[in-house]
Amino acid sequence: MLSKIYRIWSGAFVIRLVALLLSFGSSWLLTQVMTDSEYGSYVYILSIVGLLAGMAAAAFDDLAVRLVSAYQTNSHFALLQGFWRVSGVVTFGLSVLLLFVWKIYLHYYPTADVLPILAMVLCNIPLLAMLSWLQGLLLGSRHTILSQLPENIFKSLLLLLALLAFWLYRTNTFLSLSQLFLWQTWINISVLVVTLGLCWRYFWRDLPREKPAYAWSYWNKNAVIFLCISSINLINIRADILALGTMVSPHELGYYNIAAKLSELLKLGFLVSNLVFAPIFASLFAEQKLPELEQLAKKSSRLMAALGLVVVVAFAVVGKYVLSWWGTNFVTAYPVLLVLLLGQWVNLAFGAAANVLQMTGKQSWIFNAIVITTLLNVALNVLLIPHYGTMGAAIATSLSTIIKILIWNAVVYRYWRIRVGVW
């Protein structure tokens, strides 16, 4: 079993690594075809749209991973038929509602130059929300690799090719925000169509045809918990970018964003582990195999921590040189990069606790820890950014991440008497 798991993990890791490299390529091209200020505005707008789309999908994309896996394991196909129907309708409805609420807000409160462009970009919310929901269905049905291909490879490659063509054939003109987001809208539509095709081929087509059953009370309760957890977590994750977007110049935000992207090399391992092990943790817990769950979680954490330490040391040595690839001004983000890497390494070494809590029905404790650390993160950003700029945002982000991880591990040990970190 472990050999199969690690083969899946390796495949998912390669996909995420390729996606990250494509993202680095796109970021480099963006800094070449846009001004530093325009690039910073792009990062700010993208964070807002990503936050809203994530909130729209939050009710059911993560819940789909848990329930689809559990229903298939226990052959509850009637409930599975009902769940995917309800989750799709709710996700789409919530995304459209958020779209119109923000369009109305921007109409009456136009407080920044980027808001007219943001209003145009908001149409991507339903596209991104439905994409997350479809990925949840594929991931829950154990199609880990397929669930990641459309967004992480196809989408990233299309954007990279579009930027590369503009860079090669432009005539001393800069890429505008409106033109860039128009490209991204068409790319999101293409990726959604591809993901729908994969869902039909590998999920819906072979699903036993049973009359749908509906566990409304159970789904609603868990969906609300997942919605609250995911929404607040999204705010926590994007608090630094959103705060910097309103408190520092756009070009400083652009420098910070590249450092944050480089630190995501560590986050990559954590995300891949979640993708691979989340449905397995759910199955092991359903069978009450807690020793096996603990052993698997520890092995994955130790592997991730060892790989992550290599990355941290490498960036400590050559981080300035790597940042200079985007431009000499980006080297100023080197101290920020080191602070962000510290927080990401702790997340990598002990973050499996969140996965265990989520897949064993203890989501409320995830929510409690996220609420505490989100409030702390926002407060630290507000207090530190005016005095320390981007370094203040990095300190706030890493410190709140470490505290959150410690809380999660303590709760896992309290309930199940298992340790899921590196020791």
pLDDT at 112 over 80: no
Tokens 């080191």 locate to 338
Least confident of 33-37, 67-71, 80-84, 370-374: 67-71
Supply the pLDDT for residue 398.
Answer: 96
Tokens 């009710």 locate to 59
Per the structure block, which two tokens stand in for 141? 């049905």
pLDDT at 283 over 80: no
Domain coordinates in residue numbering, the chain:
2-416
pLDDT at 329 over 70: yes
Q: What is the C-alpha to C-alpha distance for residues 54 and 343, in angstroms, rounded to an integer?
A: 22
Q: What is the C-alpha to C-alpha distance for residues 308 and 73, in angstroms, rounded to an integer?
A: 33
- The residue with greater pLDDT, 98 or 191, is 191
Rounded to two decimals, what is the model's pTM? 0.77
pLDDT at 202 over 80: yes
Compute CA distances 49 → 105, 157, 234, 260, 320, whole Å.
14, 20, 11, 18, 31
Give me the helices (H) in 109-176, please.
115-121, 124-140, 144-149, 156-169
pLDDT grade for 4, boundaries at 50, 70 and 90:
low
Supply the pLDDT for residue 406.
Answer: 92
Residue 327 CA to its chain's centroid (Å):
27
Average pLDDT, the chain: 85
Supply the pLDDT for residue 107.
Answer: 67
Supply the pLDDT for residue 177.
Answer: 85
Least confident of 62-66, 149-153, 378-382: 62-66
Supply the pLDDT for residue 390.
Answer: 96
pLDDT grade for 244, boundaries at 50, 70 and 90:
very high
Give mean pLDDT, residues 191-197: 94
Q: Which amino acid, residue 164?
A: L
Give mean pLDDT, residues 143-159: 88
pLDDT at 2 over 60: no
Residue 55 CA to its chain's centroid (Å):
12
Q: Which amino acid, residue 82?
A: G
Q: What percentage of residues in the chain have a pLDDT greater than 70?
A: 93
Q: What is the C-alpha to C-alpha distance for residues 379 and 329, in angstroms, rounded to an integer?
A: 28
Compute CA distances 18 → 41, 254, 335, whole Å.
26, 22, 26
Supply the pLDDT for residue 110.
Answer: 57
> CA 270, 308, 241 angle in degrees (round to 5)?
60
pLDDT at 352 over 80: yes
Supply the pLDDT for residue 115.
Answer: 62
Supply the pLDDT for residue 35.
Answer: 86
- If one counts every other C-beta atom within 10 angstroms of the C-beta of residue 362, the result is 18
Contact 236, 374 (CB under 8 A): yes
pLDDT tens-digit series, residues 113-131: 566 677 778 888 899 999 9
Could you give the count of Cα atoms lying within 13 Å of 204 in the half-sphere of its Cβ?
13
* Region of 208 on the Ramachandran plot (φ > 0 left; ψ -120 to 50 alpha; else beta): beta
Q: Which amino acid, residue 397?
A: T
